[in-house]
Structure 1
Amino acid sequence: MADRPQAAPVPSVPRAPAVPAAGRPAGVAGSVTVREYGTRYLRISVRYHGDARFSWLRVPGPAHDRPQTAPSPAAGAALRRVDAAVADAASGTGSGAGAGRGARLALGERAAVSESGERGGVVYRVPGAVSVARLLPSGDDTAYRLSVRALADLGRTLRQLHDVPWEFAEPVPPHHGVGRLLDWISGAAPDGDGARLRALAHDRLGARLWTRLTDWAVAAQEPPGRGGAVLLHGAPSTGWLVPSPAGDHSVLLTGEEVTGGDPALDLGWVLGELHELRSAAARGLGAAGQGPPVDYPAAARSLLDGYLRKEDAAATVEALPPGTARAATLRLAVHMRDFASFVGWHEDLRRYADLLAETLDADGAPTLRW
């Protein structure tokens, strides 16, 4: 939906502008914008800086309801340690050697986007111009292979994050996606199309499933039980995952949503997105339903193979963090809510509400069937 590709095919490998010997796009002194897109919540601008260097600037839109902030110093230091461990594993050195390549963490930096600095943003330094959200469903074999490989990288990196206990002095930041969902459920975010979707979803789900959705969202904001809170990315998705065009590594945009909590929230967030894409393609909904066939189960299994340890591989579902299916279902609900609120009404939302009802009724089990 909001972060989905358009129906037009995307080149298999994101190509930078033609670069002369000086290392800059012809006729441009410095950098050049190669992509711009977004919603009323967030605008994204991708710039090319020569020599396979790109920056992604994420700027709050008019409906963005909070400042974009960097992680606390302690959490930021932990993220850098995780990234160093990922780099060591990829190079065959350090304690993670032999564990397989992971996605490097691209940590965001504050950036002013106007001379007055009225609307700040967060900028990330990355090796590519196009995310897996556009590459995966493009219909191009090379793009698909890059995407599946990047999802395995993402799984390994999420597992590295989740090995870090949240033992920092500062309070745990809220999970913003779940917070938006709770505001929508309660009616505290009474925007026009979002409110229209709320009335529709309440009707399609019925009292029993609406209560289940509410209970799951409330529980997701509570401190985890056994095992305690771990370091979470907070909003991992194919739209935050950027492969290098050379296929040698991937990066995960990280920082704005970092929090602590149950690891199921991170893993479920990505599985919920892939479940939505698979279901939309099967039902002919949105761009996913109009595009070429995509092997989403293979993509999800690649993510899970990266996340699960070798000793867990034979018991895939049983080895996942408890609550992963519920988190994946919440991700489906959040994306529906965000699309209606920040993009606008689309008649496909009626069928997405039916998909949410079916997934809730099955206790989220379809999100783990790959």
Structure 2
Amino acid sequence: MATIEHLTQRTPQVSVDELLDGFYPSHRFGSVSFESYRPDPHQPSQAAAVKALRHFATTVNAPKPSGLRKLFGSKRQESRAGIYLDGGFGVGKTHLLASLWHASSGRKAFGTFVEYTNLVGALSFRKTVDALSGYQLVCIDEFELDDPGDTVLMSRLMRELADAGVKLAATSNTLPGSLGEGRFAAVDFQREIQVLADQFDTVRIDGEDYRHRGLPEAPPPLTEQQVRHRVRSYDDGFTVAEDSFADLIKHLSGVHPSRYRQLIDGVDVVAWHNVATITEQAVALRFVVLADRLYDKDVPILASGAPLSELFTQEMMGGGYMKKYYRAVSRLTALARQAEEPIT
């Protein structure tokens, strides 16, 4: 039988170095490259994006100027500080961003917008700037504009990193249907980051938005008996984290979101008993981070109680953070469907 643990009994203690070491592409994009990206021949902007990112990688790999080169300028300084990938869902932006990370040498970081804001929350703004200023490249996936405070925070962080000579790369993430294309347009990004806007090259990636059809239907929840049976049906070598949903929600409030990656470290499957709709915004936003970390690590979900499609209230699904909740439901649904398949 599998090893059964409880996330509610885990309180990871993570050092600054360990937090920073977690900023790399998830295993879904752990071995991608520009060569493994397959541009659609009917969408020439996709091949053009690969070419632009290959060139940008050469500027990342160039040494930072120092001494007289720093004082009087260099080719590196002539290149833009950042590159922004603008396009709809499913056109391969994250694949290309991860490919840039893999193609770049030196110290580099890859994380989502939320992971960087959580890092600032864990370390403080100044310590985050100091820690990342020595990097060659910082990649920000799923740049979000739904929280003005976080947007200002990230704009300030990016500005200070750019001033330190760090190269920046970002992608966008919005709901299907937003602004008619399932994304926020480059002009929105440029307006929000203001001072940095003229330091970014915008690369448009066209293609079919494969998520335009909306959320996939969530599988029906399991019964309590089915969850218990499935948990105990896994073979030796698997680790299942089994928790009461209510207890898990309470426990998450005492674990900083920057540590959720370590919270689920070594877990092969999670099992939640009596899932219920989350009614508090702060609780819901924390849970979104957990959903992202579970999705990053491809951890299947067994759950009883309310369907995952009802995890957040209707007000949340239509409010200012709606894209976060839609993304979370979509990802949790995929992981729940994955649990229906045998794990190998």
Alignment TM-score, normalising by the size of structure 2? 0.27
Alignment TM-score, normalising by the size of structure 1? 0.26
Q: Determine which structure has more spread, i.e. the larger CA radius of gyration.
A: 2
